[in-house]
């Protein structure tokens, strides 16, 4: 049975879920910072050792018992936000299964769906937003069911330059004014007369990114409706670098990438509807108090899950690892709860049996 991701399409229902999802204990998240290595400038990571042909089929060496060796290749596309999790989990899986090879790329959630996963070229697509209804239908039109796995949560972080001493917090309402194409202010002072009469230089996610989709809907209120005069990239470190080099810049990026650059930029607290500003943190994301808390997913091709034993075992491993402490301590996301792990394993078993059907 598919997990309900529709509740994340608006801010109110998202908070309700976060408050009741039973994510890893608050105390265990205190003081967490991210140290994951995502320095692959090419956007891909290829770990050879698999014995899979170019058509995605195995060579018959996949084994079905623990005493036998798993082999084959796994192609993972999609979100740069979820990439560090997939990178670390695949690294650990290879320690025990050296004959399984991985090809990981950072295509963006939307880019990965459109260009790689939906055409059937990847086994898994990471996503920093729920899969869209039209994308589900496109998968079905291509002969397979997308299987949803909700694995972590993020506190999307608004950043400014360290020398921007005129601002420490911002409201969702001011963010909307800044990023909406209907207003598109040129100067900081156009938004708030107490802010400097200096140009607003904006950095954010590329339009192929699930982070772009989430931010646009959560802040501006309409999918895809955002001003076009900003620097967009799939490389979150480049967003941090751009803001670091410009006193009057603003950007947004996943919390994990902010914690990897904690001294290079300043994170803003965020308020909504006159409420007290909330600092981005894993605890605030878990409680639902942070206005820009969001879910993270990966999606698997059900046909390939049924065909490939090594893919089944990797997804099982991925799901079970998603509630481990290192997801918070070393990467910087709120880990899965025990209930999320159980739901994900149920989805996996239903997919292997051919009984899974995606629904919201």
pLDDT digits (tens, 9 = 90+) for 225-281: 889 899 988 888 899 999 999 999 999 999 988 887 778 999 999 999 989 999 999
| Consecutive H or E run containing 233 | strand 231-233
**In the predicted model, is pLDDT for residue 90 greater than 60?**
yes
Fold match, 6-154+295-352 / 157-279: yes
Over residues 138-161, the mean pLDDT reads: 97
Domain 6-154+295-352: CATH class, spelled out: alpha beta
329: how many CB neighbours lie within 10 A of its CB?
17
List alpha helices for 33-167, DSSP H: 83-96, 109-112, 133-141
Q: 22 pLDDT exceeds 60?
A: no
Q: What is the value of pTM for the model shown?
A: 0.78
List beta partners, residue 267: 159
Quick one: DSSP state of residue 190? G
Q: Rounded CA gap, 326 and 92, in Å?
A: 12
The number of beta carbons lying within 10 Å of the beta carbon of residue 69 is: 13
pLDDT value of position 225 = 83
What pLDDT digit, counting tens, does each position of 208-221 carry? 899 999 999 999 98
Q: Is the pLDDT of residue 41 over 50?
A: no
Residue environment code for 112-148, b if the CB has 16+ CB neighbours within 10 A, otherwise e = bbbbbbbebebbbbbbbbbbbeebbebbeeeebbbbb
Split at pLDDT 50, 70, 90, the class of 354 is: very high
Element (H, E) at 252: strand 249-253
Residue spans of the domains in the chain: they are 6-154+295-352, 157-279
Average pLDDT of the residues in 330-356: 96
Please answer whether residues 319 and 352 qualify as being in contact, where contact means their C-beta atoms are separated by less than 8 angstroms. no
| Average of per-residue pLDDT values in the chain | 84
Please state, in angstroms and as integers, the Cα–Cα distance from residue 202 to each residue in 88, 179, 211, 259, following that order: 31, 9, 15, 20
Look at residue 68 in the predicted model and tell me its pLDDT.
59
347 vs 13, more confident? 347
**CATH architecture entry for 157-279:** 3-Layer(aba) Sandwich (3.40)
pLDDT at 325: 92
Nearest to 232 by CA among 202, 261, 200: 202
| The two three-digit tokens of residue 109, written as one number | 């959630």
pLDDT at 85 over 70: yes
Min mean pLDDT across 59-63, 116-120, 304-308 is at 59-63
Q: What percent of the chain is modeled with pLDDT above 90?
A: 71
């Amino acid at each position: 049975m598919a997990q309900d991701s529709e509740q994340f399409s608006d801010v109110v229902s998202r908070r309700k879920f976060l408050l009741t999802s039973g994510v890893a204990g608050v105390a265990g998240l205190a003081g967490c910072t991210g140290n994951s290595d995502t320095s692959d400038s090419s956007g891909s990571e290829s770990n050879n050792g698999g014995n899979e042909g170019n058509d995605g089929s195995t060579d018959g060496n996949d084994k079905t018992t623990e005493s036998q060796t798993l082999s084959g290749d796994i192609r993972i596309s999609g979100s740069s936000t979820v990439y560090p999790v997939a990178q670390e989990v695949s690294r650990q899986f290879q320690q025990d299964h050296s004959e399984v090879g991985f090809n990981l790329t950072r295509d963006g959630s939307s880019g990965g769906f459109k260009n790689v996963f939906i055409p059937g070229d990847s086994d898994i697509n990471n996503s920093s937003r729920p899969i869209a209804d039209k994308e589900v239908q496109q998968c079905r039109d291509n002969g397979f069911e997308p299987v949803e796995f909700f694995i972590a949560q993020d506190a999307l972080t608004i950043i400014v330059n360290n020398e921007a001493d005129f601002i420490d917090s911002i409201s969702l309402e001011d963010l909307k004014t800044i990023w909406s194409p209907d207003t598109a202010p040129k100067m900081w002072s156009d938004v708030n007369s107490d802010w400097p009469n200096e140009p607003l230089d904006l950095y954010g996610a590329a339009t192929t990114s699930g982070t772009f989709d989430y931010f646009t809907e959560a802040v501006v209120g309409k999918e895809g409706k955002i001003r076009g005069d900003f620097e967009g990239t799939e490389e979150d470190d480049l967003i941090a670098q751009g803001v670091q080099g410009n006193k009057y810049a603003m950007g947004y990026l996943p919390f994990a990438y902010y914690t990897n650059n904690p001294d290079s930029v300043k994170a803003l607290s965020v308020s909504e509807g006159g409420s007290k500003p909330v600092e981005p943190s894993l605890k605030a994301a878990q409680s639902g108090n942070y206005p820009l808390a969001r879910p993270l997913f990966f999606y698997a091709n059900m046909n390939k899950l049924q065909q490939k034993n090594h893919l089944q075992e990797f997804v099982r491993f991925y799901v079970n690892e998603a509630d481990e402490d290192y997801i918070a301590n070393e990467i910087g996301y709120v880990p899965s709860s025990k209930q999320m792990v159980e739901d994900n394993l149920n989805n996996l078993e239903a997919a292997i049996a051919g009984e899974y059907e995606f629904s919201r």
